[in-house]
Amino acid sequence: MKVGDTITASQNFRKLMNIKIYNELQRIKRDCPGLMSNEQALLEMINVRFDVSVTKPTVDEIDNAVNEKYFTKVWHPKNKKYKYSGLAIVDEINNMLPRSVLDVGCGYNEFKGKINNLYGIDLYNSKADEQIGIMEYVPQGTHDVLICFGSINFGNIEKVFSELQKCVDVTEPGGLLFFRVNPGIQHDPVEAKWIEFFEWTPEFIFNSAQEVGCSVVNMRNDANRVYFVLRKDK
């Protein structure tokens, strides 16, 4: 079954961004039915349960607040631990003489000033050249190289595949896309408890590459993550 078929078969359910948070909200509604008629009390319960501050009791609002808190106050980059998708990528990409490099989910923008002609975007980090997510990003033109290390890892298959498709869309034909992804490993800090980590597998990578018009150029384990490179064929 192709990735697109999987998404279509479950599109109504998969519109939910974070199944962990959805299930917990359902549990709260089941155990505390009185809260359903008192939105303020429900919000107070949600903010305590998820340790965030939201104004709407929705999955997307809570998910965004959980991620923002974790990636602005807890998470720190660990590029030095990765053999293939760490600092070694600098010379590899510069040797390609790139015209335009997009770093998706650049975090603290560590590759800025190291990789030529790089532009970093990140939804949560103010060190980015533009503080925006990949789905909202509007490029001035296509990029011949794209880096995405650790940022398309969250939510369900529909969300992950849509973000992958957007990465390919902003890359020019023949361009290369460098990825580091999570095979479903939960982060240790308690603040990451409600983050839904997508389980990337080699099968999903190969299948998705075919769906978005790419070839897999390279794939290998990199510490506790998976590193792979795509070439946009069309």
Count other C-beta atoms under 10 Å from residue 5's C-beta.
Answer: 10
Q: Taking the CB of residue 215, how many other CB atoms lie within 10 A of it?
A: 12
Cβ atoms of 123 and 163 closer than 8 Å: no
Check pLDDT > 60 for residue 230. Answer: yes
Whole-angstrom distance, CA of residue 164 vs CA of residue 226: 15
Query: In the structure encoding, which two tokens stand for residue 113, read together?
Result: 């000033």
Tokens of 20: 């962990």
Mean pLDDT throughout 6-32? 70
DSSP label at residue 11: H
Chain segment 59-115, per-residue pLDDT in tens = 999 999 999 999 999 998 888 899 999 999 999 999 999 999 999 999 999 999 999
Contact 152, 105 (CB under 8 A): yes
Distances (CA, A) of 113 to 99, 103, 167: 14, 12, 22
| Element at 145 (helix H, strand E) | strand 143-149
Ordered by where they begin, the domains of the chain are: 3-73 (no CATH), 79-232 (3.40.50.150)
pLDDT tens for each residue of 150-199: 999 998 899 999 999 999 999 999 999 999 999 999 999 999 999 999 99
Q: Above 90 in pLDDT, residue 39?
A: no
**What is the residue-averaged pLDDT of the chain?**
91
pTM summary value: 0.88
Whether the Cβ atoms of residue 184 and residue 200 lie closer than 8 Å to each other:
yes
